[in-house]
Structure 1
Amino acid sequence: MSFTTLQGNAGTVSDIDGNVYHTVGIGTQIWMVENLKTTKYNDGTTIPLITDGTTWSNLSSPAYCWYNNDSVTYKNTYGALYNWDAIHTNKLCPLGWHIPTDSEWVVLINYVGGDTTAGGKLKEAGITHWSVPNTGATNSTYFYALPGGYRNGNLGSFVGIKDNGFWWSSSESNASESWCRIIYFSSDDIFRENIKKTSGFSVRCLKDN
Protein backbone atom coordinates (compact mmCIF):
# COMPACT_ATOMS: atom_id res chain seq x y z
CA MET A 1 0.00 0.00 0.00
CA SER A 2 1.28 3.47 -0.85
CA PHE A 3 0.45 6.63 1.04
CA THR A 4 -0.54 9.94 -0.47
CA THR A 5 0.88 12.91 1.37
CA LEU A 6 0.12 16.58 0.99
CA GLN A 7 3.68 17.72 1.52
CA GLY A 8 5.72 14.53 1.66
CA ASN A 9 9.01 15.08 3.43
CA ALA A 10 8.13 18.51 4.74
CA GLY A 11 11.58 19.65 5.85
CA THR A 12 12.91 20.34 9.33
CA VAL A 13 12.00 22.12 12.57
CA SER A 14 14.22 23.07 15.52
CA ASP A 15 13.44 23.08 19.23
CA ILE A 16 14.51 25.72 21.77
CA ASP A 17 17.75 23.77 22.46
CA GLY A 18 18.69 23.86 18.77
CA ASN A 19 17.99 20.17 18.11
CA VAL A 20 16.88 19.73 14.50
CA TYR A 21 14.07 17.30 13.63
CA HIS A 22 13.08 16.06 10.18
CA THR A 23 9.38 16.11 9.40
CA VAL A 24 7.05 14.15 7.15
CA GLY A 25 3.56 14.73 5.82
CA ILE A 26 1.24 11.74 6.23
CA GLY A 27 -2.24 12.36 4.91
CA THR A 28 -3.35 15.75 6.21
CA GLN A 29 -0.87 15.79 9.11
CA ILE A 30 2.79 16.79 9.42
CA TRP A 31 4.75 14.89 12.08
CA MET A 32 8.25 15.00 13.50
CA VAL A 33 10.28 12.01 12.34
CA GLU A 34 12.35 11.84 15.56
CA ASN A 35 11.45 11.63 19.23
CA LEU A 36 11.62 14.92 21.09
CA LYS A 37 14.75 15.62 23.14
CA THR A 38 14.36 19.18 24.34
CA THR A 39 15.45 20.06 27.89
CA LYS A 40 13.56 23.36 27.87
CA TYR A 41 10.01 24.53 27.22
CA ASN A 42 9.47 26.67 24.14
CA ASP A 43 9.62 29.79 26.34
CA GLY A 44 13.18 28.91 27.40
CA THR A 45 12.31 27.65 30.90
CA THR A 46 14.35 24.60 31.95
CA ILE A 47 12.40 21.36 32.46
CA PRO A 48 13.42 19.61 35.70
CA LEU A 49 15.70 16.61 35.05
CA ILE A 50 14.86 13.87 37.57
CA THR A 51 17.27 10.95 37.86
CA ASP A 52 16.19 9.31 41.14
CA GLY A 53 13.51 6.65 40.65
CA THR A 54 11.60 7.22 43.89
CA THR A 55 11.49 10.96 43.32
CA TRP A 56 10.26 10.38 39.77
CA SER A 57 7.43 8.06 40.76
CA ASN A 58 6.17 10.46 43.46
CA LEU A 59 6.17 13.57 41.28
CA SER A 60 3.09 15.65 40.59
CA SER A 61 4.96 18.22 38.51
CA PRO A 62 6.69 18.29 35.11
CA ALA A 63 9.93 16.36 34.56
CA TYR A 64 12.04 14.60 31.96
CA CYS A 65 14.86 12.06 31.96
CA TRP A 66 17.10 10.05 29.67
CA TYR A 67 16.79 6.28 29.52
CA ASN A 68 19.00 4.79 32.27
CA ASN A 69 20.00 8.39 33.04
CA ASP A 70 22.44 8.06 30.13
CA SER A 71 22.14 10.90 27.64
CA VAL A 72 25.39 10.00 25.87
CA THR A 73 24.06 6.59 24.80
CA TYR A 74 20.38 7.31 24.25
CA LYS A 75 19.66 11.00 23.59
CA ASN A 76 20.44 11.33 19.90
CA THR A 77 18.73 8.12 18.77
CA TYR A 78 15.79 7.66 21.13
CA GLY A 79 15.17 11.13 22.56
CA ALA A 80 14.03 11.97 26.08
CA LEU A 81 11.28 10.53 28.27
CA TYR A 82 8.72 12.98 29.71
CA ASN A 83 6.02 12.62 32.33
CA TRP A 84 2.50 13.75 31.49
CA ASP A 85 2.73 16.90 33.60
CA ALA A 86 5.40 18.09 31.17
CA ILE A 87 2.98 17.36 28.32
CA HIS A 88 0.21 19.28 30.06
CA THR A 89 2.18 22.54 30.07
CA ASN A 90 1.50 22.89 26.32
CA LYS A 91 5.03 24.28 26.02
CA LEU A 92 6.99 21.13 25.20
CA CYS A 93 6.90 21.27 21.39
CA PRO A 94 8.38 24.07 19.28
CA LEU A 95 6.08 27.01 18.60
CA GLY A 96 3.61 26.05 15.87
CA TRP A 97 3.67 22.40 16.98
CA HIS A 98 1.86 20.44 19.68
CA ILE A 99 1.51 17.08 21.42
CA PRO A 100 -1.09 15.09 19.43
CA THR A 101 -4.45 14.44 21.02
CA ASP A 102 -5.83 10.94 21.23
CA SER A 103 -8.09 11.79 18.27
CA GLU A 104 -5.14 12.99 16.20
CA TRP A 105 -3.38 9.68 16.80
CA VAL A 106 -6.55 7.97 15.55
CA VAL A 107 -6.44 10.04 12.35
CA LEU A 108 -2.86 8.91 11.68
CA ILE A 109 -3.53 5.26 12.46
CA ASN A 110 -6.71 5.08 10.40
CA TYR A 111 -4.97 6.72 7.44
CA VAL A 112 -2.24 4.07 7.37
CA GLY A 113 -4.63 1.15 7.63
CA GLY A 114 -5.79 0.70 11.22
CA ASP A 115 -4.51 -0.61 14.55
CA THR A 116 -3.59 -4.12 13.39
CA THR A 117 -1.01 -3.07 10.79
CA ALA A 118 -0.14 0.57 11.53
CA GLY A 119 2.68 -0.32 13.92
CA GLY A 120 4.68 -2.01 11.18
CA LYS A 121 4.13 0.85 8.77
CA LEU A 122 5.26 3.39 11.37
CA LYS A 123 8.28 1.48 12.74
CA GLU A 124 11.80 2.00 11.49
CA ALA A 125 12.68 -1.10 9.47
CA GLY A 126 15.54 -3.45 10.34
CA ILE A 127 17.15 -4.38 13.65
CA THR A 128 19.69 -1.62 14.14
CA HIS A 129 17.52 0.06 16.76
CA TRP A 130 14.69 -2.49 17.23
CA SER A 131 15.06 -5.95 18.77
CA VAL A 132 14.69 -9.08 16.62
CA PRO A 133 12.36 -9.84 14.87
CA ASN A 134 10.87 -6.32 14.57
CA THR A 135 7.70 -7.89 13.20
CA GLY A 136 6.13 -6.29 10.14
CA ALA A 137 8.38 -3.24 10.12
CA THR A 138 8.39 -1.50 6.74
CA ASN A 139 8.47 2.21 7.69
CA SER A 140 6.41 2.81 4.56
CA THR A 141 5.13 6.05 6.12
CA TYR A 142 8.65 7.36 6.82
CA PHE A 143 7.54 7.97 10.43
CA TYR A 144 10.62 6.15 11.81
CA ALA A 145 9.04 5.07 15.12
CA LEU A 146 11.83 4.06 17.51
CA PRO A 147 11.73 1.96 20.70
CA GLY A 148 12.83 4.38 23.40
CA GLY A 149 11.42 2.21 26.18
CA TYR A 150 9.77 3.93 29.13
CA ARG A 151 10.15 4.91 32.76
CA ASN A 152 7.80 3.05 35.08
CA GLY A 153 5.41 5.43 36.81
CA ASN A 154 5.17 3.35 39.98
CA LEU A 155 8.82 2.43 40.50
CA GLY A 156 10.80 4.95 38.49
CA SER A 157 12.72 2.12 36.80
CA PHE A 158 13.66 2.00 33.11
CA VAL A 159 12.19 -0.72 30.90
CA GLY A 160 12.10 -1.85 27.29
CA ILE A 161 14.74 0.00 25.29
CA LYS A 162 14.82 -1.50 21.76
CA ASP A 163 11.74 -3.61 22.60
CA ASN A 164 8.95 -1.04 22.68
CA GLY A 165 8.07 2.58 22.11
CA PHE A 166 5.51 4.49 24.17
CA TRP A 167 4.23 7.89 23.00
CA TRP A 168 2.02 10.27 24.94
CA SER A 169 -1.12 11.92 23.72
CA SER A 170 -2.31 15.15 25.31
CA SER A 171 -5.66 13.54 26.18
CA GLU A 172 -6.47 12.46 29.72
CA SER A 173 -8.46 9.29 30.30
CA ASN A 174 -9.02 10.07 33.99
CA ALA A 175 -7.46 12.12 36.79
CA SER A 176 -4.40 9.88 37.12
CA GLU A 177 -3.98 8.41 33.62
CA SER A 178 -3.62 9.58 30.04
CA TRP A 179 -3.93 7.92 26.63
CA CYS A 180 -0.81 6.78 24.85
CA ARG A 181 0.25 4.66 21.89
CA ILE A 182 2.55 1.64 22.11
CA ILE A 183 4.47 -0.29 19.44
CA TYR A 184 6.33 -3.54 20.20
CA PHE A 185 9.23 -5.29 18.46
CA SER A 186 7.18 -8.50 18.26
CA SER A 187 4.03 -7.13 16.61
CA ASP A 188 2.94 -4.92 13.73
CA ASP A 189 -0.03 -3.61 15.75
CA ILE A 190 -0.18 -0.26 17.47
CA PHE A 191 -1.89 -0.30 20.85
CA ARG A 192 -3.95 2.36 22.64
CA GLU A 193 -3.66 2.30 26.44
CA ASN A 194 -4.40 4.59 29.34
CA ILE A 195 -1.38 4.64 31.64
CA LYS A 196 -0.33 6.47 34.79
CA LYS A 197 0.71 10.08 34.24
CA THR A 198 3.89 9.63 36.28
CA SER A 199 5.25 7.33 33.56
CA GLY A 200 8.04 8.58 31.33
CA PHE A 201 7.28 8.21 27.61
CA SER A 202 8.59 9.44 24.29
CA VAL A 203 7.00 12.39 22.50
CA ARG A 204 6.34 13.11 18.85
CA CYS A 205 5.15 16.60 17.95
CA LEU A 206 2.49 17.36 15.35
CA LYS A 207 2.33 20.58 13.35
CA ASP A 208 -0.55 22.92 14.11
CA ASN A 209 -3.19 23.17 11.39
Structure 2
Amino acid sequence: MRLTFFILVVFIPSFVISQTTGTFIDNRDSTEYKWVKIGDQIWMAENLAYLPGIGGIPVYINQSFAYMKTYFVYNYQGTSVEEAKSTDYFTKYGALYDWFAAIDGYQASNSDPSGIQGACPDGWHIPSRAEWQKLTDFICNDIGICEIRTGFSNKYYTEIGRYLKSETGWEINNGLNSYGFNALPSGWSANSTKSEGNLGLYWTASEYNRDYATAYWLDSNDQHLRVGNPYLLVRNSNSDVIGKWGGFSIRCVCDDNSLLTNNNQSKSIKDNLKINIYPNPSNDGRIFIEISNFEGTGNFTVFNLHGIEINSWEFYAENGSFKKEINLANFAKGIYYFRFSLGEKSLNKTIILY
Protein backbone atom coordinates (compact mmCIF):
# COMPACT_ATOMS: atom_id res chain seq x y z
CA MET A 1 0.00 0.00 0.00
CA ARG A 2 1.37 3.39 -0.99
CA LEU A 3 0.73 6.35 1.29
CA THR A 4 0.55 9.87 -0.08
CA PHE A 5 1.10 12.82 2.23
CA PHE A 6 -0.08 16.36 1.57
CA ILE A 7 1.57 19.23 3.35
CA LEU A 8 -0.28 22.52 3.66
CA VAL A 9 2.05 25.48 3.97
CA VAL A 10 0.33 28.76 4.79
CA PHE A 11 1.75 32.16 5.69
CA ILE A 12 -0.33 33.67 8.48
CA PRO A 13 0.39 37.35 9.16
CA SER A 14 0.97 38.55 12.70
CA PHE A 15 -0.98 41.71 13.39
CA VAL A 16 -0.02 44.33 15.96
CA ILE A 17 -2.05 47.51 16.09
CA SER A 18 -0.02 50.69 16.44
CA GLN A 19 -2.56 52.88 14.74
CA THR A 20 -2.64 56.64 15.05
CA THR A 21 -5.66 58.67 14.10
CA GLY A 22 -6.76 62.23 14.53
CA THR A 23 -8.16 65.33 12.88
CA PHE A 24 -6.82 68.55 11.38
CA ILE A 25 -8.27 71.80 10.05
CA ASP A 26 -7.80 73.09 6.49
CA ASN A 27 -7.26 76.80 7.09
CA ARG A 28 -8.52 77.71 3.62
CA ASP A 29 -12.16 76.91 4.39
CA SER A 30 -12.10 75.64 8.01
CA THR A 31 -13.00 72.10 6.94
CA GLU A 32 -12.03 69.44 9.48
CA TYR A 33 -10.61 66.19 8.14
CA LYS A 34 -9.84 62.85 9.72
CA TRP A 35 -6.42 61.34 9.16
CA VAL A 36 -4.92 57.92 9.78
CA LYS A 37 -1.37 56.63 9.97
CA ILE A 38 -0.81 53.48 7.89
CA GLY A 39 2.71 52.14 8.07
CA ASP A 40 4.94 55.19 8.17
CA GLN A 41 2.58 57.33 6.05
CA ILE A 42 -0.19 59.65 7.21
CA TRP A 43 -3.20 59.67 4.88
CA MET A 44 -6.39 61.65 4.88
CA ALA A 45 -9.17 59.29 5.96
CA GLU A 46 -11.74 61.30 4.00
CA ASN A 47 -11.98 62.59 0.44
CA LEU A 48 -10.74 66.11 -0.13
CA ALA A 49 -13.59 68.65 -0.20
CA TYR A 50 -11.75 71.85 -1.16
CA LEU A 51 -13.90 73.58 -3.78
CA PRO A 52 -12.67 76.96 -5.11
CA GLY A 53 -15.05 76.82 -8.07
CA ILE A 54 -17.40 74.70 -10.16
CA GLY A 55 -16.56 73.82 -13.74
CA GLY A 56 -13.47 74.80 -15.69
CA ILE A 57 -11.00 77.49 -14.64
CA PRO A 58 -8.59 78.36 -17.48
CA VAL A 59 -4.90 78.79 -16.67
CA TYR A 60 -2.67 81.00 -18.80
CA ILE A 61 1.11 80.98 -19.02
CA ASN A 62 2.77 83.98 -20.68
CA GLN A 63 -0.71 85.18 -21.72
CA SER A 64 -1.33 81.95 -23.63
CA PHE A 65 -3.89 79.34 -22.62
CA ALA A 66 -2.09 76.39 -21.00
CA TYR A 67 -4.68 74.08 -19.46
CA MET A 68 -8.05 73.95 -17.71
CA LYS A 69 -8.55 73.12 -14.04
CA THR A 70 -11.99 71.59 -13.56
CA TYR A 71 -13.86 70.96 -10.31
CA PHE A 72 -16.96 68.78 -9.99
CA VAL A 73 -19.50 67.77 -7.38
CA TYR A 74 -21.24 64.48 -8.04
CA ASN A 75 -24.71 64.88 -9.58
CA TYR A 76 -24.54 68.70 -9.51
CA GLN A 77 -24.89 70.50 -12.84
CA GLY A 78 -25.07 74.11 -11.65
CA THR A 79 -22.38 76.75 -11.22
CA SER A 80 -22.83 77.85 -7.59
CA VAL A 81 -20.17 76.71 -5.14
CA GLU A 82 -22.50 77.26 -2.19
CA GLU A 83 -25.27 75.21 -3.78
CA ALA A 84 -22.83 72.45 -4.65
CA LYS A 85 -21.53 72.35 -1.07
CA SER A 86 -25.06 72.03 0.28
CA THR A 87 -25.75 68.79 -1.60
CA ASP A 88 -25.80 65.41 0.11
CA TYR A 89 -23.24 64.11 -2.39
CA PHE A 90 -20.70 66.78 -1.43
CA THR A 91 -21.25 66.15 2.28
CA LYS A 92 -20.73 62.43 1.75
CA TYR A 93 -18.03 62.31 -0.93
CA GLY A 94 -16.31 65.69 -1.09
CA ALA A 95 -15.31 67.15 -4.46
CA LEU A 96 -14.10 65.59 -7.72
CA TYR A 97 -11.12 67.03 -9.61
CA ASP A 98 -9.60 66.65 -13.03
CA TRP A 99 -5.88 65.91 -12.93
CA PHE A 100 -4.82 69.51 -13.55
CA ALA A 101 -6.98 70.74 -10.67
CA ALA A 102 -5.71 67.91 -8.48
CA ILE A 103 -2.03 68.80 -8.90
CA ASP A 104 -2.74 72.52 -9.49
CA GLY A 105 -0.50 72.49 -12.55
CA TYR A 106 0.78 70.19 -15.26
CA GLN A 107 4.19 68.96 -14.04
CA ALA A 108 3.94 65.34 -12.88
CA SER A 109 6.00 63.61 -10.20
CA ASN A 110 6.74 60.02 -9.25
CA SER A 111 9.00 60.91 -6.34
CA ASP A 112 8.43 59.89 -2.73
CA PRO A 113 7.23 62.31 -1.51
CA SER A 114 5.81 63.80 -4.68
CA GLY A 115 6.57 67.39 -3.69
CA ILE A 116 3.29 68.54 -5.28
CA GLN A 117 0.87 70.20 -2.89
CA GLY A 118 -1.77 70.60 -5.59
CA ALA A 119 -5.26 71.03 -4.19
CA CYS A 120 -4.23 69.68 -0.78
CA PRO A 121 -4.08 71.82 2.39
CA ASP A 122 -0.81 73.29 3.62
CA GLY A 123 1.40 70.55 5.02
CA TRP A 124 -0.15 67.92 2.72
CA HIS A 125 0.46 66.83 -0.86
CA ILE A 126 -0.92 64.76 -3.74
CA PRO A 127 0.62 61.28 -3.43
CA SER A 128 2.66 59.94 -6.32
CA ARG A 129 2.37 56.43 -7.68
CA ALA A 130 5.46 55.58 -5.62
CA GLU A 131 3.66 56.67 -2.44
CA TRP A 132 0.57 54.63 -3.29
CA GLN A 133 2.93 51.72 -3.96
CA LYS A 134 4.34 52.13 -0.46
CA LEU A 135 0.81 51.90 0.94
CA THR A 136 0.02 48.74 -1.04
CA ASP A 137 3.35 47.16 -0.10
CA PHE A 138 2.64 47.75 3.58
CA ILE A 139 -0.82 46.19 3.40
CA CYS A 140 0.39 43.27 1.26
CA ASN A 141 3.05 42.49 3.84
CA ASP A 142 0.57 42.96 6.68
CA ILE A 143 -2.21 40.70 5.43
CA GLY A 144 0.10 38.21 3.76
CA ILE A 145 -2.30 37.15 0.99
CA CYS A 146 -1.78 39.84 -1.63
CA GLU A 147 -1.16 38.83 -5.23
CA ILE A 148 -0.26 41.19 -8.08
CA ARG A 149 -1.91 40.46 -11.43
CA THR A 150 -1.91 42.22 -14.78
CA GLY A 151 -5.12 43.33 -16.47
CA PHE A 152 -6.08 45.44 -19.47
CA SER A 153 -4.04 48.69 -19.27
CA ASN A 154 -3.50 48.21 -15.53
CA LYS A 155 -2.37 45.88 -12.80
CA TYR A 156 -4.22 45.05 -9.64
CA TYR A 157 -3.60 43.86 -6.12
CA THR A 158 -5.94 41.07 -5.09
CA GLU A 159 -7.93 41.45 -1.87
CA ILE A 160 -6.41 44.80 -0.82
CA GLY A 161 -9.64 46.58 -1.66
CA ARG A 162 -11.43 44.62 1.05
CA TYR A 163 -9.20 46.25 3.67
CA LEU A 164 -9.38 49.79 2.25
CA LYS A 165 -13.08 50.02 1.38
CA SER A 166 -15.68 51.51 3.71
CA GLU A 167 -17.94 49.07 5.53
CA THR A 168 -21.08 50.46 3.87
CA GLY A 169 -22.09 52.32 0.72
CA TRP A 170 -20.84 49.97 -2.00
CA GLU A 171 -23.48 48.39 -4.24
CA ILE A 172 -21.98 44.98 -3.47
CA ASN A 173 -18.74 43.84 -1.85
CA ASN A 174 -18.48 46.32 1.01
CA GLY A 175 -15.12 46.43 2.72
CA LEU A 176 -13.79 45.91 6.22
CA ASN A 177 -12.00 49.28 6.55
CA SER A 178 -9.27 47.55 8.52
CA TYR A 179 -6.77 50.40 8.32
CA GLY A 180 -9.15 53.35 8.67
CA PHE A 181 -8.67 54.50 5.06
CA ASN A 182 -12.46 54.34 4.51
CA ALA A 183 -12.43 54.33 0.69
CA LEU A 184 -15.82 55.48 -0.60
CA PRO A 185 -17.64 54.63 -3.86
CA SER A 186 -17.74 58.30 -4.84
CA GLY A 187 -17.93 57.72 -8.60
CA TRP A 188 -16.37 59.99 -11.19
CA SER A 189 -17.27 62.81 -13.54
CA ALA A 190 -16.51 64.01 -17.05
CA ASN A 191 -19.42 65.27 -19.14
CA SER A 192 -21.71 63.69 -16.56
CA THR A 193 -21.32 61.97 -13.21
CA LYS A 194 -21.34 58.19 -13.05
CA SER A 195 -20.83 55.07 -10.97
CA GLU A 196 -21.64 56.37 -7.48
CA GLY A 197 -21.87 53.27 -5.31
CA ASN A 198 -19.73 51.27 -7.76
CA LEU A 199 -16.36 52.98 -8.20
CA GLY A 200 -13.92 54.96 -6.10
CA LEU A 201 -11.05 56.55 -8.07
CA TYR A 202 -8.05 58.51 -6.76
CA TRP A 203 -5.62 60.63 -8.71
CA THR A 204 -1.88 60.38 -8.23
CA ALA A 205 0.68 63.07 -9.04
CA SER A 206 2.16 60.73 -11.66
CA GLU A 207 1.57 60.62 -15.40
CA TYR A 208 0.74 57.59 -17.48
CA ASN A 209 1.70 59.52 -20.60
CA ARG A 210 1.13 62.99 -22.05
CA ASP A 211 -2.63 62.60 -22.27
CA TYR A 212 -3.36 60.30 -19.35
CA ALA A 213 -2.41 60.31 -15.69
CA THR A 214 -2.10 57.41 -13.29
CA ALA A 215 -4.89 56.62 -10.85
CA TYR A 216 -5.79 53.99 -8.29
CA TRP A 217 -9.34 52.71 -8.09
CA LEU A 218 -11.68 50.24 -6.43
CA ASP A 219 -14.74 48.53 -7.89
CA SER A 220 -17.84 47.09 -6.25
CA ASN A 221 -17.57 44.04 -8.51
CA ASP A 222 -14.53 42.69 -6.63
CA GLN A 223 -12.15 43.38 -3.76
CA HIS A 224 -9.07 44.40 -5.76
CA LEU A 225 -7.12 47.66 -5.84
CA ARG A 226 -6.21 48.64 -9.39
CA VAL A 227 -3.52 50.99 -10.64
CA GLY A 228 -2.71 52.26 -14.09
CA ASN A 229 -4.38 54.25 -16.80
CA PRO A 230 -8.14 54.34 -16.21
CA TYR A 231 -8.78 55.54 -19.74
CA LEU A 232 -11.32 52.81 -20.34
CA LEU A 233 -13.92 52.14 -17.69
CA VAL A 234 -16.60 49.66 -18.61
CA ARG A 235 -19.84 49.99 -16.73
CA ASN A 236 -23.07 48.33 -17.83
CA SER A 237 -21.65 47.64 -21.32
CA ASN A 238 -20.92 51.35 -21.91
CA SER A 239 -17.31 52.38 -22.51
CA ASP A 240 -15.99 55.80 -21.52
CA VAL A 241 -12.61 57.20 -22.45
CA ILE A 242 -11.13 59.22 -19.60
CA GLY A 243 -7.98 61.31 -19.81
CA LYS A 244 -6.58 63.84 -17.40
CA TRP A 245 -9.90 65.69 -17.60
CA GLY A 246 -11.84 63.01 -15.70
CA GLY A 247 -13.13 64.06 -12.27
CA PHE A 248 -11.77 61.75 -9.55
CA SER A 249 -11.40 61.94 -5.78
CA ILE A 250 -8.26 62.96 -3.89
CA ARG A 251 -6.63 61.57 -0.76
CA CYS A 252 -3.76 63.74 0.43
CA VAL A 253 -0.65 62.53 2.29
CA CYS A 254 0.99 64.47 5.12
CA ASP A 255 4.35 66.04 4.33
CA ASP A 256 5.88 64.80 7.60
CA ASN A 257 4.94 63.50 11.04
CA SER A 258 4.77 66.93 12.64
CA LEU A 259 0.99 66.55 12.59
CA LEU A 260 1.27 63.96 15.34
CA THR A 261 2.71 66.50 17.78
CA ASN A 262 0.40 69.39 16.87
CA ASN A 263 -1.93 69.30 19.87
CA ASN A 264 -3.97 72.20 18.54
CA GLN A 265 -5.13 70.30 15.48
CA SER A 266 -4.84 66.61 16.21
CA LYS A 267 -5.37 63.87 18.73
CA SER A 268 -3.39 60.65 18.81
CA ILE A 269 -4.43 57.14 19.73
CA LYS A 270 -1.66 54.58 20.14
CA ASP A 271 -1.73 51.07 21.56
CA ASN A 272 0.25 47.85 21.50
CA LEU A 273 -2.83 45.69 21.17
CA LYS A 274 -2.01 42.08 20.25
CA ILE A 275 -4.32 39.35 19.01
CA ASN A 276 -3.34 35.73 18.51
CA ILE A 277 -5.47 32.99 16.92
CA TYR A 278 -4.25 29.40 17.13
CA PRO A 279 -3.97 26.76 15.83
CA ASN A 280 -4.03 28.40 12.44
CA PRO A 281 -4.63 26.61 10.09
CA SER A 282 -7.09 24.43 12.02
CA ASN A 283 -8.18 20.97 10.89
CA ASP A 284 -11.01 20.46 13.39
CA GLY A 285 -12.45 23.96 13.73
CA ARG A 286 -11.42 24.36 17.39
CA ILE A 287 -9.40 27.55 17.85
CA PHE A 288 -8.28 29.80 20.69
CA ILE A 289 -8.35 33.59 20.63
CA GLU A 290 -6.00 35.50 22.91
CA ILE A 291 -6.06 39.29 23.26
CA SER A 292 -3.52 41.25 25.31
CA ASN A 293 -2.98 44.91 26.18
CA PHE A 294 -6.71 45.60 26.07
CA GLU A 295 -9.26 46.08 28.83
CA GLY A 296 -12.99 46.59 28.45
CA THR A 297 -15.83 45.45 26.22
CA GLY A 298 -15.22 44.35 22.65
CA ASN A 299 -16.54 42.04 19.98
CA PHE A 300 -15.29 39.99 17.08
CA THR A 301 -17.12 38.93 13.93
CA VAL A 302 -16.26 36.26 11.39
CA PHE A 303 -16.85 36.80 7.64
CA ASN A 304 -16.46 34.53 4.66
CA LEU A 305 -14.46 35.48 1.56
CA HIS A 306 -17.48 37.31 0.12
CA GLY A 307 -17.69 39.62 3.14
CA ILE A 308 -20.86 37.96 4.47
CA GLU A 309 -21.12 37.90 8.26
CA ILE A 310 -21.24 34.35 9.64
CA ASN A 311 -21.23 34.85 13.41
CA SER A 312 -20.35 37.38 16.09
CA TRP A 313 -19.26 37.28 19.75
CA GLU A 314 -19.04 39.90 22.50
CA PHE A 315 -16.58 39.74 25.39
CA TYR A 316 -15.17 41.64 28.33
CA ALA A 317 -11.42 41.70 28.97
CA GLU A 318 -10.20 42.12 32.54
CA ASN A 319 -6.68 42.92 33.71
CA GLY A 320 -5.55 43.65 30.16
CA SER A 321 -6.13 40.21 28.65
CA PHE A 322 -8.79 37.86 27.29
CA LYS A 323 -8.79 34.24 26.12
CA LYS A 324 -11.61 32.22 24.58
CA GLU A 325 -12.00 28.90 22.81
CA ILE A 326 -14.51 28.82 19.95
CA ASN A 327 -15.70 25.93 17.83
CA LEU A 328 -15.96 26.44 14.06
CA ALA A 329 -16.40 22.75 13.25
CA ASN A 330 -19.69 23.46 11.46
CA PHE A 331 -17.99 25.93 9.09
CA ALA A 332 -17.11 24.85 5.56
CA LYS A 333 -13.42 24.43 4.86
CA GLY A 334 -11.79 27.59 3.51
CA ILE A 335 -10.50 31.04 4.43
CA TYR A 336 -12.34 33.30 6.87
CA TYR A 337 -11.73 36.78 8.21
CA PHE A 338 -12.12 37.81 11.83
CA ARG A 339 -12.81 41.49 12.50
CA PHE A 340 -12.10 42.60 16.05
CA SER A 341 -13.74 45.81 17.30
CA LEU A 342 -12.01 46.97 20.46
CA GLY A 343 -12.99 50.46 21.54
CA GLU A 344 -11.87 52.83 18.77
CA LYS A 345 -9.74 50.12 17.18
CA SER A 346 -10.60 47.56 14.56
CA LEU A 347 -8.39 44.76 13.25
CA ASN A 348 -8.73 41.85 10.85
CA LYS A 349 -7.08 38.46 11.03
CA THR A 350 -7.24 35.50 8.67
CA ILE A 351 -8.11 31.95 9.72
CA ILE A 352 -7.88 28.86 7.52
CA LEU A 353 -9.98 25.76 8.10
CA TYR A 354 -8.94 22.60 6.25
TM-score, length basis structure 2: 0.50
1:28 equivalent in alignment to 2:46: no
Contact 1:3–1:112 (Cα < 8 Å) also in 2? no
Q: 2:127 aligns with which of 100, 122, 144?
A: 100
SS of structure 1 residue aligned to 2:30: coil
Give, in angstroms, the shift of residue 8 of structure 1. Answer: 1.5
Gaps of 5+ in 1: 40-46, 52-58
Ranked by relative contact order (alpha carbons within 8 Å, sequence separation 6 or more), the top structure is: 1
Q: Give a deviation string over 1:58-112, Cα, whole Å, max 9, x none.
A: x931121100115412011111100011122233111110010001001101111
After superposition, the Cα gap between the structure-2 partners of 1:3 and 1:121, relative to the gap in structure 1 and judged at 3 Å, is farther
Between the aligned partners of 2:138 and 2:17, the Cα distance in structure 1 is 10
Structure-to-structure mapping, 1:29-44, within 5 angstroms: 29-39=41-51
Corresponding residue of 1:63: 70
Task: Specify the alignment match of 2:206 in structure 1.
Answer: 171
The aligned counterpart of 2:303 is: none
Matched, 1:125 2:174: no
Cα distance in structure 1, aligned partners of 2:218 and 2:158: 11
Q: Alpha carbons of 1:33 and 1:148: their partners in 2 closer, same or farther (altered >3 Å)? A: same
Q: CA deviation at 1:3?
A: 5.8
Distance 1:3 1:60, change over 3 A: farther
Return the TM-score normalized by structure 1.
Answer: 0.83
- Report the Cα offset of residue 12 of structure 1: 1.0
Please give the per-residue CA displacement for 1:172-191, whole angstroms capped at 9, x wherever unaligned.
11111110001011211100
Q: 1:102 to 1:18 in 2, by over 3 A?
A: same
The structure number with the bigger radius of gyration is: 2
More strand by share: 2
Aligned-pair identity (%): 34
2-side partners of 1:75 and 1:48: how far apart? 13
Q: Is 2:186 the partner of 1:144?
A: no
Q: Which residue number in structure 1 is paired with residue 249 of structure 2?
A: 202
User: Is the Cα–Cα contact under 8 Å of residues 125 and 254 in structure 2 kept in the other structure?
Assistant: yes
> Does the aligned pair in 1 maintain the 2:25–2:31 contact within 8 Å?
yes
Kept in 2, the 8 Å contact 1:60–1:198? The answer is no
RMSD: 1.8
Give the equivalent residue in structure 1 for 2:92: 77
- 1:143-194 Cα shifts (integer Å, max 9, x gaps): 1000110013xxx121100111000001011111110001011211100121
User: Cα offset for 1:138?
Assistant: 1.0
One-letter amino acid matched to 2:90: K
- Unaligned runs of 5+ residues in structure 2 are 1-12, 57-65, 77-83, 105-116, 141-145, 147-156, 231-242, 257-354
- In structure 2, the residue matched to 1:161 is 196
**Pairing 1:83-94 to 2, within 5 Å after superposition:** 83-89=98-104, 90-94=117-121
Q: Distance in 1 between matches of 2:53 and 2:244?
A: 16
Structure 2: which amino acid aligns with 1:24? V
Match of 1:183 in 2: 218
SS at match of 1:77: helix
Stretches (4+) displaced over 2 A: 1-5
SS at match of 1:181: strand
Structure 2 CA distance for aligned equivalents of residues 20 and 200 of structure 1: 22
Map Cα deviations across residues 15-67 of structure 1 (whole Å, 9 max, x no partner): 2111111110000000011000111xxxxxxx33118xxxxxxx931121100
Match of 1:142, SS state, is coil
Give the 3-state SS of the residue equivalent to 1:119 in structure 2. Answer: helix
Decide whether aligned partners of structure 1 residues 3 and 208 sit closer, same or farther in structure 2, where only a CA change above 3 A counts.
Answer: farther
